[in-house]
């Protein structure tokens, strides 16, 4: 579904990604793990079309989208859950949810979103930035589900969440996967990652250092945690 | 008491002009991140256009009130497409050079044809005379300006907060990149929003024609205060620009009335308020700190 070939990107003089190539098949959940600054968020921004000055190729369903502007990529079914949660202060919770047009074959209705996230329903008329961090994370995830996005680009959706909410995020991602949604997930929590994902890429200094499956991550957990500095 | 009411009312009328101009600057800055130093020139063109339409073609005030904002809005859209949109990727210095340069060009074009003396514009007959409020009476035309501007601000607020277009404009203003990532072609809204802001300036100009001296420099005199208003309200804040517009109109009118023995104070009071607000809240009263990139 998603194919990235020789992708390089830089911020000014600093090169963040070097010749990254990877693939995500339809219906797969794939994580990107790596230390802070390894280029994980930049990779997601490149796929979304928000990083100027990138080289290489990004393909979606066999179609070259490297030169496509971000809003057209979104309309092809990409749903971004940004690392800062992307809450709009000037929009209410409901407006945050309904801002993006529906883009996929199976968008969630607002009623379904509110049934799944009662906390969002209670605060539906509040400014989104007045929500707690966990609620904003739920809002970001609920928003791309309501879009009906086919490929979710989730940037650390469990960061700073309580164990209960982490579990809920896991349940949601597994449910989305059951409905055929593909997920590319930036994740530092290895336990969470092996619980939802099929495969993992380890990014180091802007390169794909290793590709691993769940059993490999589990057997090397201690070594990987030490490497990631957690 | 009636003197105080008189001063307050006059302050609100001046404030109405500040609010209209600051509102246009706010939506333009929000959407384009461009500070339009040419805004005063479009206000002047609105007034001058109304004057020329009346004296050379016999077009009445009411028609000018529609023709000038629409015409200037279209001119604004053309300018945005031709030159303004190039500013987004350039150093902010070019923003100043281009829009200030446009101001000089527009002012001098008008000077070249009509000279620098002020021209009178007759108050439309429907709005001449005054309204009796019991203790005091006010010129009907000024009552009209105040009512019309308040209605217009409420209408703009309604569109921005209650419609899908307003939601898209708010989102694009707050986080343009994020909004693109949600499938919205932010660029498509930039030109109409610029035209709308310019149209508001033109409208303020037409409204000003019957009560202010119509001359090529009328915008240059006003715009300095309007920029203070925008900074006080918070750059890019729509509510802030309107509230600060009326607020500064009041402060200025009261200052002129009650501090007339201290001309230095009454003339600079707007900028004293601005400095105070900036010390207290660097992003302005209703502004938010820009999120780090």
Beta strand spans in B112-208 (E) = 130-132, 137-139
DSSP readout, B220-254?
A: HHHHHHHHHHHHHH-TT-HHHHHHHHHHHHHHHHH
Cβ <8 Å between B182 and A48: no
Residue A100's SS3 state is coil
Among A125, A187, A204, CA closest to A153: A187
Report pLDDT for B289.
63
Q: How far is B288 from chain A (nearest CA, A)?
A: 10
So what's the pLDDT on residue A230? Answer: 65
Which of B171, B173, B185 has its CB closest to that of A99? Answer: B171
| In a domain? residue B267 | no
Q: Which of A82, A88, A103 comes nearest B183 by C-beta?
A: A103
Q: Is the pTM above the cut of 0.90?
A: no
Domain count, chain B: 1
Q: CA-nearest residue of chain B to A153?
A: B181
How far apart (Å, rounded) are the C-alpha atoms in residues A101 and B168? 11
Residues of A in contact with B169 (CB under 8 A): none
pLDDT-based confidence at residue B287 (cuts at 50, 70, 90): confident
Residues of chain B whose beta carbon is less than 8 angstroms from a beta carbon of chain A are 167-168, 170-171, 173-175, 177-186, 288, 291
**CB-closest option in B171, B173, B180 to A71:** B180
**Which pLDDT value is given to residue B129?**
86
Residue B283 has pLDDT above 50, yes or no: yes
Contact B65, B49 (CB under 8 A): no
Give chain A positions within 8 Å (CB) of B291. 84
Mean pLDDT value of segment B140-145: 93
Residue B159, domain extent? 2-216
Residue B141's pLDDT band, with cuts at 50, 70 and 90, is: very high
Among A70, A99, A143, whose Cβ lies nearest the Cβ of B167? A99
**Does residue B242 lie within any of the structural domains?**
no
How many percent of chain B have pLDDT more than 70?
98
What is the reported pLDDT for B293? Answer: 36
Residue B200 has pLDDT above 70, yes or no: yes
Distance from CA of A125 to the nearest CA of B (A): 12
| Average pLDDT score over residue span B81-85 | 92
- For residue A101, give the chain B residue with the closest CA: B183
Which residues of A touch chain B, with CB atoms under 8 Å apart? 48-50, 69-71, 73-75, 78, 80, 82, 84, 86, 88-91, 95, 98-101, 103, 143, 147
How far is the alpha carbon of A222 from chain B, nearest alpha carbon, in Å?
A: 35
Q: Which of A99, A130, A145 to mutate to test the interface with B (most CBs of B within 10 A)?
A: A99
Chosen for mutation from B88, B180, B182 (greatest number of chain A CBs closer than 10 Å) is: B182
**ipTM of the complex, rounded to two decimals:** 0.91
How far is it, in rounded angstroms, from Cα B223 to Cα A142?
A: 45
The model's pLDDT over A165-195, given as tens digits with 9 standing for 90+, comes to 999 999 999 999 999 999 999 998 888 999 9
Residue B243 lies in a domain: no
Residue of B173, B174, B182 with shortest CB distance to A74 = B182
Examine the pLDDT at B291 and tell me if it is beyond 90: no
Q: What is the pLDDT of residue A228?
A: 85
What are the strands, taking DSSP E only, across chain A? 2-11, 14-24, 29-33, 54-60, 63-64, 78-81, 151-155, 182-186, 199-204, 207-213
Q: Is residue B35 part of a domain?
A: yes
Q: How many percent of chain A have pLDDT more than 70?
A: 100
Q: What is the mean pLDDT of chain A?
A: 92
Q: How many angstroms separate the CA of residue B163 from the nearest CA in chain A?
A: 10
Q: Helix B218-233 to helix B39-57 angle, to the nearest 10 degrees?
A: 140
Are A151 and A60 in contact by the 8 Å Cβ rule? The answer is: yes
Cβ neighbours of A69 in B, within 8 Å: 180, 185
Range with the lowest mean pLDDT among A50-54, B41-45, B259-263?
A: B259-263
pLDDT of residue B292: 39
Which residues of chain B neighbour A99 with C-beta distances below 8 Å?
A: 167-168, 171, 179, 182, 184
Query: Could you give all domains of chain A from N- to C-terminal order, each with its CATH number?
Result: 2-228 (3.40.50.300)
Q: How high is the pLDDT of residue A43? A: 95
Q: Does B281 map to a domain?
A: no
Of B175, B180, B181, nearest to A88 by CB-CB distance is B175
Q: Taking CB atoms and an 8 Å limit, are A50 and B168 in contact across chains?
A: no
Q: Which of B140, B16, B36, B9 is CA-nearest to residue B98?
A: B36
* Residue A112 vs residue B118, higher pLDDT: A112
Segment A97-122 shows an average pLDDT of: 93
Question: Closest Cα partner for B226 from B75, B16, B6?
Answer: B16
- From chain A, pick out residues whose CB is under 8 angstroms from the CB of B174: 88-91
The rounded distance, in Å, linking the Cα atoms of A31 and B283 is 40
Residue B290's CB: how many other CB atoms inside 10 A? 10
Note whether A99 contacts B179, CB cutoff 8 Å.
Answer: yes
Residue B272 counted as domain residue: no
| Angle, vertex CA A115, rays to CA A81 and CA A135, nearest 5 | 40
When pLDDT is cut at 50, 70 and 90, the band that residue B263 belongs to is confident
| Higher-confidence position of B180 and B2 | B180
Tokens of A138: 């739920």
Mean pLDDT calculated for residue range A148-153: 96
Provide the pLDDT for residue B221. 82
Query: Per the domain annotation, does B292 fall within a domain?
Result: no
Say which DSSP state B3 is in. H
Residue B225 domain-assigned?
no
Is pLDDT above 50 for B138?
Answer: yes
Res B288 pLDDT > 80: no
């Amino acid at each position: 579904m998603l194919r990235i070939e020789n992708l390089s990107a830089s911020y000014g003089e600093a090169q963040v990604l070097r010749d990254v190539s990877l693939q995500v098949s339809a219906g797969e959940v794939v994580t990107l793990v790596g230390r802070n600054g390894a280029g994980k968020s930049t990779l997601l921004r490149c796929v979304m079309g928000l990083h100027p000055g990138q080289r290489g190729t990004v393909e979606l369903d066999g179609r070259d989208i490297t030169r496509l502007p971000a809003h057209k990529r979104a309309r092809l079914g990409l749903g971004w859950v940004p690392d800062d949660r992307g809450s709009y202060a000037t929009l209410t919770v409901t407006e945050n949810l309904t801002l993006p047009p529906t883009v996929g074959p199976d968008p969630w209705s607002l009623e379904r979103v509110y049934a799944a996230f009662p906390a969002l329903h209670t605060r539906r008329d509040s400014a989104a930035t007045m929500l707690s961090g966990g609620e904003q994370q739920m809002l970001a995830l609920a928003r791309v589900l309501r879009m009906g996005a086919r490929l979710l680009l989730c940037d650390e959706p469990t960061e700073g969440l309580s164990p209960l909410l982490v579990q809920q995020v896991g349940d949601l991602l597994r449910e989305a996967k059951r409905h055929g949604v593909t997920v590319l997930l930036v994740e530092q929590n290895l336990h969470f990652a092996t619980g939802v994902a099929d495969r993992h890429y380890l990014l180091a200094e802007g390169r794909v250092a290793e590709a691993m499956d769940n059993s490999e991550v589990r057997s090397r957990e201690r070594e990987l945690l030490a490497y990631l500095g957690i | 008491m009636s003197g105080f009411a008189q001063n307050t009312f006059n302050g609100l009328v001046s404030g109405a002009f500040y609010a209209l101009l600051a509102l246009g600057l706010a939506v333009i800055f929000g959407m384009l991140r461009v500070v339009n130093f040419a805004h005063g020139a479009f206000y002047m063109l609105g007034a001058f256009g109304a004057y020329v339409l009346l004296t050379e073609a016999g077009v009445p005030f009411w028609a000018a009130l529609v023709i000038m904002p629409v015409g200037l809005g279209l001119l604004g859209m053309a300018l945005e497409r031709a030159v303004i949109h190039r500013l987004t990727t350039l150093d902010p210095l070019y923003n100043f050079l281009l829009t200030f340069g446009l101001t000089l060009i527009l002012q001098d074009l008008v000077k070249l044809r009509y000279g620098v003396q002020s021209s009178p514009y007759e108050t439309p007959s429907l709005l001449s005379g005054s309204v009796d409020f019991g203790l005091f009476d006010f010129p009907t035309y000024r009552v009209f300006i105040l009512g019309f501007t308040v209605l217009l601000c409420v209408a703009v607020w309604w569109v921005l907060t209650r419609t899908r277009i307003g939601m898209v404009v708010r989102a694009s203003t707050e986080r343009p990149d994020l909004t693109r990532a949600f499938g919205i072609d932010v660029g498509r809204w930039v030109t109409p929003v610029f035209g709308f802001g310019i149209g508001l300036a033109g409208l303020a100009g037409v409204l000003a024609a019957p009560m202010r001296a119509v001359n090529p420099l009328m915008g240059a005199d006003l715009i300095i205060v309007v920029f203070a208003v925008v900074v006080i309200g918070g750059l890019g804040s729509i509510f802030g620009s309107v509230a600060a517009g009326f607020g500064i109109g009041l402060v200025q009118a009261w200052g002129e009335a009650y501090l007339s023995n201290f001309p230095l104070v009454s003339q600079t009071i707007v900028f004293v308020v601005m400095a105070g607000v900036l010390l207290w809240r660097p992003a302005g009263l209703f502004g938010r700190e820009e999120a780090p990139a």
